[in-house]
Chains A and B, each alone.
Chain A
């Protein structure tokens, strides 16, 4: 059995759902952030698979840009999570509920 691009796209969809469920179900800000990274990489896989199938390099090139953006987001995200952690010594989002209404 050959593995076609369709399989990769299906895997990307599964990864995306895994990431989305993780974001919705987990309560630790770090784990939630890792779930988002899984979602971004699902999109990456889908880009590469599509690019490979189409025989053009656009999809692969896109992934480089996304990886750089994701790295920048890690910097920003960890800075924010560390700031919260310093104040509260917890990374659980349930403890952050001061803003409501």
Chain B
């Protein structure tokens, strides 16, 4: 029943949470960063059992099939651990300058990561709900971290109300699925769907579940909270929300749709098609007229959620290898997106510290006085836009390849056309920021900014290395996407 090896990452994370609180209690306020360092060590230590589990291989089921550690779970857990470590690195200097609580911040980020790690293995309605809440609840508090800042308060209140609303919708959907199928474990729900697939209560349950996850991944029309929350929240928290929290939502959606609702593909397929098309288009078009870089990244992350949904939406029409390819496309997009978006946020944190502003106009002439930061910004923004040879092109490539898996399918082709148009629109707003940074004249009096702190530099180096390496050598991340595709098989 208890497979200690399979649960070791969760145990290590739990222990790390306590250690972080202890360190925060014992060290002098000046050295609170040690709590963050302990957190990073804990995240990396939790990654070790993932490697040994991958070495042993195989699928481990626990608690009557409600908690499964397979290759998909390992890959996704690894992603969340690494993303968490990068966020902690990017947070350290920001918190120092902010003069708010430090140790508790690291604790809450780690708690949220622990939730994401649980989500990766959850194969049961309630386990998934608990995991998702563990991801969200600390994030509500983190969004309002700057207690004295009214914008931060507003961000956290909006995020909280929308977050609990989405949880309630999700839970009601789950209760309908449970009521109609009589099962709560995903594999058994899938086995029972054939008998109830026509029932309106079941269809409603599936749709409510989709809406609940739609809020979590900020898909249009459930996206309106995201740019507000990103703008008001502390910058590293916005980075975490756009990768960790959104990633957990995508992982939950992938797991539940592919395993529990495998027999209801005709319900979620068309719904996701509409969601994907709307999300890409609205996200990109709204991003065009933003003057604040963080808001722009908020809408860009909404648009990327749409791109992630593109292959996924077509899964309903596919069979066999194409269905698997769609799963691979969505997951690989998520992997690439996580690194380049964290990198983009780390660069924005560094530049915001240097220039003291988050407005695009204030970044004019950045390349003159801070060429390194400007170049980094260029790399990550072009990668987000999908320009070769940066990692983003590969994400877009697998996405288009997957959605065109059946060239005769008009829905797939039209979705690919919408995605292509959106990829071009996206290039405009990323390039607009870079134009200000590289081509506009620098102001007369250069802003007096702090030098780049070492943890933030480390975060930038890691994300830059992955973004460049995965662009030149796509197998680097594709390998993990390949390993995880087993979940798509019936």
Chain A residue, CB-CB nearest to B229: A99
Q: Mark A41-55, 1 if CB is under 8 A from B, else 0.
A: 011101101110110
Which of A53, A58, A97 is packed against the most chain B CB atoms within 10 Å? A58
Least Cβ–Cβ distance between A67 and chain B, in angstroms: 12
B161→A33 contact, CB < 8 A: yes
Chain B residues close to A by CB (< 8 Å): 125-126, 129-130, 133, 137, 140-141, 144, 147-148, 150-151, 153-158, 160-161, 164-165, 167-169, 171-172, 174-176, 178-179, 182, 184, 201, 227-228, 231-232, 289-290, 292, 295
A83→B172 contact, CB < 8 A: no
Chain A residue, CB-CB nearest to B171: A43
A36→B175 contact, CB < 8 A: no
Q: With the chains together, A40 CA to B164 CA distance in Å?
A: 9
A-B contact pairs, 17 of them (CB 8 A): A19-B168, A36-B161, A39-B172, A42-B172, A43-B168, A46-B175, A50-B178, A53-B179, A59-B175, A59-B179, A69-B133, A72-B133, A73-B167, A76-B140, A81-B157, A83-B156, A101-B295
Chain A contact residues (Cβ within 8 angstroms of B): what range?
35 or more
Least Cβ–Cβ distance between B140 and chain A, in angstroms: 5
Select which of A33, A42, A99, A100 is within 8 A of B164 by beta carbon: A33
Chain A residue, CB-CB nearest to B147: A83
Least Cβ–Cβ distance between A85 and chain B, in angstroms: 9
Q: With the chains together, A23 CA to B161 CA distance in Å?
A: 9
Q: Do A29 and B161 contact each other (CB < 8 Å), given the known contacts A101-B227, A101-B292?
A: yes
Q: With the chains together, A49 CA to B175 CA distance in Å?
A: 10
Select which of B130, B157, B168, B182 is within 8 A of A80 by beta carbon: B157
Q: With the chains together, A77 CA to B148 CA distance in Å?
A: 17
Q: Is A56 an interface residue (CB 8 A)?
A: yes
Select which of B129, B137, B232 is within 8 A of A76 by beta carbon: B137
Select which of B129, B137, B175, B201 is within 8 A of A65 by beta carbon: B129
B157→A46 contact, CB < 8 A: no
B164→A59 contact, CB < 8 A: no
Q: With the chains together, A63 CA to B179 CA distance in Å?
A: 13
B184 contacts across to A, CB distance below 8 A: 58, 62
Q: Is A11 an interface residue (CB 8 A)?
A: no
B179 contacts across to A, CB distance below 8 A: 9, 46-47, 49-50, 53-54, 59
B176→A88 contact, CB < 8 A: no
A96→B153 contact, CB < 8 A: yes
Q: Do A72 and B137 contact each other (CB < 8 Å), given the known contacts A47-B178, A66-B171?
A: yes
A77→B164 contact, CB < 8 A: yes
Q: With the chains together, A19 CA to B184 CA distance in Å?
A: 25
Q: With the chains together, A5 CA to B253 CA distance in Å?
A: 29
Select which of A49, A79, A80, A99 is within 8 A of B232 by beta carbon: A99
Q: Can you add 8 more A-B contacts, CB < 8 Å, to A36-B164, A101-B227?
A: A32-B161, A43-B171, A50-B178, A53-B179, A73-B137, A80-B156, A83-B147, A96-B154
Q: Do A39 and B165 contact each other (CB < 8 Å), given the known contacts A46-B179, A50-B179, A65-B126?
A: yes
Chain A residues close to B by CB (< 8 Å): 9, 12, 16, 19, 23, 29, 32-33, 36, 39-40, 42-44, 46-47, 49-51, 53-54, 56, 58-59, 61-62, 65-66, 69, 72-73, 76-77, 79-81, 83-84, 87-88, 93, 96-101
Chain A residue, CB-CB nearest to B153: A84
B153 contacts across to A, CB distance below 8 A: 80, 83-84, 87, 96
Least Cβ–Cβ distance between B296 and chain A, in angstroms: 10
B171 contacts across to A, CB distance below 8 A: 40, 43, 66
Q: With the chains together, A39 CA to B175 CA distance in Å?
A: 12
Q: With the chains together, A72 CA to B290 CA distance in Å?
A: 36
Least Cβ–Cβ distance between A100 and chain B, in angstroms: 8
Chain B residue, CB-CB nearest to A69: B133
Select which of A43, A65, A73, A98 is within 8 A of B172 by beta carbon: A43
A46 contacts across to B, CB distance below 8 A: 172, 175-176, 179
A53 contacts across to B, CB distance below 8 A: 179
The 4 A-B pairs with the shortest beta carbon distances in the complex, nearest first, are A50-B179, A39-B168, A46-B175, A99-B228
Least Cβ–Cβ distance between B279 and chain A, in angstroms: 18
B292 contacts across to A, CB distance below 8 A: 101
Q: With the chains together, A39 CA to B129 CA distance in Å?
A: 15
B129→A66 contact, CB < 8 A: yes
Q: With the chains together, A58 CA to B160 CA distance in Å?
A: 28
Q: With the chains together, A23 CA to B166 CA distance in Å?
A: 12
Least Cβ–Cβ distance between B79 and chain A, in angstroms: 25
Q: With the chains together, A44 CA to B176 CA distance in Å?
A: 11
Q: With the chains together, A101 CA to B158 CA distance in Å?
A: 15
B174→A43 contact, CB < 8 A: yes
B150 contacts across to A, CB distance below 8 A: 87-88, 96, 98
A33 contacts across to B, CB distance below 8 A: 161, 164
Select which of B147, B155, B164, B174 is within 8 A of A73 by beta carbon: B164
A43 contacts across to B, CB distance below 8 A: 168, 171-172, 174-175
B141 contacts across to A, CB distance below 8 A: 76, 79-80
Select which of A39, A50, A80, A100 is within 8 A of B160 by beta carbon: A80
Select which of B126, B144, B168 is within 8 A of A83 by beta carbon: B144
A84→B137 contact, CB < 8 A: no
B129→A93 contact, CB < 8 A: no
